């Protein structure tokens, strides 16, 4: 918008009582406060990290700015301390009991931070706290402490990524265009610890030499060398003797009550067994349950066909359509056979017409109450068109059973994104937003992930000195899927006379490919750690997730809720029954500067909360909220809704000049326990596949429908119709050495799928693998002659390598 246009608006509305000029309504990009320096101290203990950071921001503008600190929360991360200091005041985030709170940050939930919705581009969860007014030339010092579970690389390394808030190298003002140097300083120090010993540290930037601080190399230190890198900063910590199991004991807080979570020692356990790929042709186990919204049956017919045909021999399956009452094709899962599949395909087309309103909760309870086939890991594929009712109870039900299954969630509307993400996160699955163009490709990608080998019958045994016992918080998962690394937190109850000399043994049992596997590890009970208690904070976060259990959500009693509140308040980790409050204490002059002041002179509380936004802020974390005078408009937002509407109407005539753009669609109201959803696990599938994908699906749908469950095709008129060759000609061109017509038919089908530059690869990769496996289990010597004949018949040039496993 030009200054002239702005002046016209100013003349039109400056005399309207209660009206004001609001920067966000003009959609002018807000400028960020520059980060001057960041001091980051990271303590990495095996696969958990405790981060303490001090961030200094400088207001280089010529006017005061209203500032909000916004920190995107990454996966498996929890803040436990925050404070900010300026020349005027000190602000500290504290937790309060929502059942007894005396103050709320605003008259409306979320209204304090509505403007953030206009400044984000990607999905994400953030911690936000209003910091008040910062005068020109003055600094704001932010101290933030958080803990995080670290990713475990396939080679056993612990991966730490420095958040962009502490290293905003992408932001335009942080880099000198001529020299390429960043305009802020970064001091990063990492202390490393593991009873197995620290072997090495690698990074994508320069580091100081690794310094060991213990003779047994169990502790070490390293720092960033030189200037900050002009790219993201990543550390990989390698430990000696990488194993499938790691155990670390962390001492409790001597000030905390003995027997409490913070008062007792804690065992940090990482389970990451090496699970090899399945051998070609090997029958696979697993229970695959497909849960369909009755309103999504139209979208799910083709995906379901491809899914069912791609399942492996040896598994179990079932299909549920949820409506007014849950309807299962079978009372419980059945073996994947040709007869059962044919029956299921006939029943599914008539099921949806009998259903009314969606009842996903009832369907899930029905599924969980049915017995799982012995030795088969349960995996759910849930399709949602609209957001079902009882969302909280659905998330609680899935959380309650998360150790016994995994969920893959597919949503056709943005309304169900939060729920889909929550279900996937709770069970270590995946959530995907799909459209009618890409749904088959996306569900098949998830099926490939679900078909990876799995360790079954997982159990832990503990051997400890007399007087001690271990409680695994949240229970032990029944399965470990390939590529998973599982964190467990176990509280040590009791007291041993001489903990310095005592040791314990943990034994991991599971079954893999029909063979029993055992991993045994001995660990010292002498607590490790530097007193920062990263494991305890993460254990508190893990334990608080039990609040999603149905008995808690349904309000069966106050005891679980009171315990959760106590754990949350003592650990500093937020839970559904607590909330953040920003407490301000004045350091010198009050903030009050006229009738539109943000806070009154005696106001001691400021807005502070965790938000689930449509996007994550990647550039920086401090945003001034004022573009023009008057500088303090935030209270006016709350008190002058009519003025805002007038202002919006007043600038409507500027639409044709491009000064105003359409406001983004507001996300659905957040649900209290779903604010913990890790939206970075949500996969937004925005690929544009184009008309060719729908055309490819239409071309190969009939061929897919004709495939048998063992991967073969039957020589029939239906197959001839798909191949567009006369059935008599197909039979006449069959090599004389072939004794089984299905063998010839299967070679023809695979050749047809391969003939056009792998056009159907994403759709039929699993189907082709089944077919090739079936062929190779027959007379392999017939393959070359059959392929030569099929290439001649179909006019293709498919390579023999296609049929070599």
Q: Tokens in use for 793? A: 């018949």
Query: Please, what is the end-to-end C-alpha distance for the chain in angstroms?
Result: 63
The pLDDT value recorded for residue 301 is 80
Residues 6+ apart with CB under 8 A from 265: 249, 250, 251, 252, 491, 492, 525, 527
**Domains in the chain: boundaries:** 3-182+577-680, 287-451, 691-803
Nearest to 779 by CA among 717, 735, 732: 735
Q: Give φ, ψ of 703 to 5 degrees.
A: -65, -40
The sheet that has 605-606: what strands, in order across it?
A: 211-212, 219-223, 185-193, 35-45, 48-58, 139-149, 77-85, 89-97, 578-586, 605-606
Residues 6+ apart with CB under 8 A from 212: 198, 219, 220
**CB-based contact 360:325 (threshold 8 Å):** no
Nearest to 547 by CA among 667, 446, 396: 396
| CA–CA distance, 486 with 482 (Å, rounded to integer) | 11
Q: Tokens in use for 351? A: 């099921």
| CA–CA distance, 318 with 303 (Å, rounded to integer) | 15
| CA–CA distance, 499 with 254 (Å, rounded to integer) | 15
Residues 6+ apart with CB under 8 A from 736: none
**CB-based contact 175:181 (threshold 8 Å):** yes
H helices of 435-499, where?
A: 439-450
Those residues of the chain that have pLDDT short of 70 are: 1-32, 99-112, 114-124, 171-180, 279-283, 296-299, 323-327, 349-358, 436-437, 496-499, 528-529, 547-557, 587-603, 613-693, 756-759, 805
Report CA torsion sign: 654, 655, 656, 661: positive
List, for residues 149-171, the tens digit of each pLDDT value. 999 988 889 999 999 889 888 76
**CB-based contact 48:538 (threshold 8 Å):** yes
User: What top-level class would CATH report for the domain 287-451?
Assistant: alpha beta
**Pairing relationship of beta strands 515-524 and 486-494 according to DSSP bridges:** unpaired
The pLDDT value recorded for residue 32 is 66
The pLDDT value recorded for residue 441 is 87
Residues 6+ apart with CB under 8 A from 328: 318, 319, 320, 366
């Amino acid at each position: 918008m030009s200054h002239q246009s702005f002046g016209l608006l100013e003349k039109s509305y400056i005399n309207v009582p209660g009206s004001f000029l609001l920067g966000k309504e003009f959609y002018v990009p807000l400028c960020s406060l520059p980060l001057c320096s960041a001091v980051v101290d990271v303590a990495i203990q095996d696969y958990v990290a405790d981060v303490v950071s001090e961030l200094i921001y400088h207001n280089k503008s010529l006017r005061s700015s209203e500032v909000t600190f916004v920190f995107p929360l990454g996966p498996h991360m929890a803040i436990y301390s925050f404070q900010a200091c300026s020349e005027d005041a000190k602000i500290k985030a504290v937790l309060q009991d929502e059942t007894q709170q005396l103050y709320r940050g605003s008259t409306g939930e979320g209204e304090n931070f509505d403007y953030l919705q206009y400044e984000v581009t990607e999905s994400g969860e953030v911690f936000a706290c209003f910091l008040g007014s910062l005068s020109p030339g003055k600094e704001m010092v932010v101290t933030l402490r958080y803990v995080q579970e670290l990713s475990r690389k396939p080679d056993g390394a612990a991966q730490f990524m420095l958040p962009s808030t502490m290293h905003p190298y992408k932001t335009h003002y942080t880099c000198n265009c001529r020299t390429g140097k960043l305009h802020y300083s970064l001091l990063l120090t990492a202390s490393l610890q593991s009873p197995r010993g620290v072997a090495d540290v690698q990074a994508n930037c320069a580091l100081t030499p690794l310094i060991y601080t213990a003779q047994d190399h169990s502790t070490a230190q390293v720092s960033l060398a030189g200037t900050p890198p002009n790219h993201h900063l990543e550390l990989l910590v390698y430990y000696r003797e990488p194993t499938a199991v790691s155990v670390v004991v962390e001492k409790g807080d001597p000030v905390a009550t003995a027997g409490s979570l913070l008062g007792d020692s804690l065992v940090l356990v990482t389970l990451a067994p090496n699970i090899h790929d399945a051998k070609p042709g090997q029958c696979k186990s697993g229970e695959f349950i497909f849960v369909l919204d009755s309103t999504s049956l139209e979208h799910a017919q083709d995906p379901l066909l491809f899914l069912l045909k791609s399942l492996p021999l040896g598994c179990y399956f079932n299909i549920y359509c949820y409506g007014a009452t849950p309807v299962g094709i079978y009372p419980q899962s059945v073996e994947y056979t040709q007869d059962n599949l044919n029956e299921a395909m006939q029943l599914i087309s008539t099921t949806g017409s009998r259903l009314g309103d969606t009842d996903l909760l009832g369907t899930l309870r029905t599924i969980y109450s049915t017995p799982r086939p012995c030795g088969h890991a349960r995996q759910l594929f849930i399709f949602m068109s609209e957001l079902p009712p009882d969302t909280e109870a659905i998330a609680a039900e899935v959380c309650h059973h998360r150790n016994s299954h995994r969920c893959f969630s597919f949503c056709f509307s943005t309304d169900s994104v939060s729920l889909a993400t929550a279900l996937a996160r709770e069970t270590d699955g995946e959530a995907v937003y799909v459209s009618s163009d890409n749904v088959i490709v996306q569900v098949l990608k998830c099926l490939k992930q679900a078909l990876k080998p799995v360790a079954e019958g997982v159990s832990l045994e503990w051997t400890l000195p007399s007087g001690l016992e271990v409680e695994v918080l949240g229970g032990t998962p029944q399965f470990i899927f390939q590529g998973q690394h599982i964190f467990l937190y176990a509280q040590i109850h009791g007291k041993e006379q001489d903990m310095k000399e005592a040791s314990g043994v943990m034994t991991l049992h599971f079954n893999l490919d029909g063979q029993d596997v055992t991993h045994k590890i001995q660990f010292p009970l002498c607590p490790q750690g530097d007193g920062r208690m990263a494991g305890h904070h993460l254990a508190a976060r893990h334990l608080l997730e039990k609040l999603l259990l149905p008995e808690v959500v349904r309000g069966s009693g106050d005891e679980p809720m009171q315990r959760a509140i106590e754990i949350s308040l003592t650990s500093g980790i937020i839970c559904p029954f607590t909330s953040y409050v920003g407490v301000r204490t004045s350091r010198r002059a009050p903030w009050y500067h006229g009738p539109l002041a943000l806070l009154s002179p005696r106001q001691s509380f400021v807005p502070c909360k965790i938000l689930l936004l449509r996007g994550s802020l990647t550039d920086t974390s401090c945003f001034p909220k004022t573009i023009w005078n008057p500088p303090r408009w935030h209270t006016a937002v709350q008190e002058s809704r009519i003025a805002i509407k007038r202002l919006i109407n007043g600038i409507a005539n500027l639409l044709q000049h491009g000064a105003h753009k359409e406001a983004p669609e507001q996300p659905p109201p957040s649900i209290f326990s779903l604010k913990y959803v890790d939206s970075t696990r949500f996969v937004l599938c925005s690929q544009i596949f184009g008309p060719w994908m729908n055309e490819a699906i239409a071309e190969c749908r009939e061929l897919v429908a004709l495939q048998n469950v063992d991967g073969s095709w039957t020589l029939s008129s239906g197959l001839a119709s798909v191949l567009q060759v006369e059935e008599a000609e197909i039979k006449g061109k069959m090599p004389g050495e072939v004794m089984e017509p299905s063998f010839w038919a299967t070679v023809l089908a695979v050749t047809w799928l391969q003939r056009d530059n792998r056009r159907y690869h994403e759709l039929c990769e699993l189907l082709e693998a089944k077919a090739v496996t079936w062929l190779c289990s027959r007379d392999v010597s017939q393959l070359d002659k059959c392929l030569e004949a099929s290439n001649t018949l179909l006019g293709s040039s498919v390579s023999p390598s296609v049929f070599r496993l």
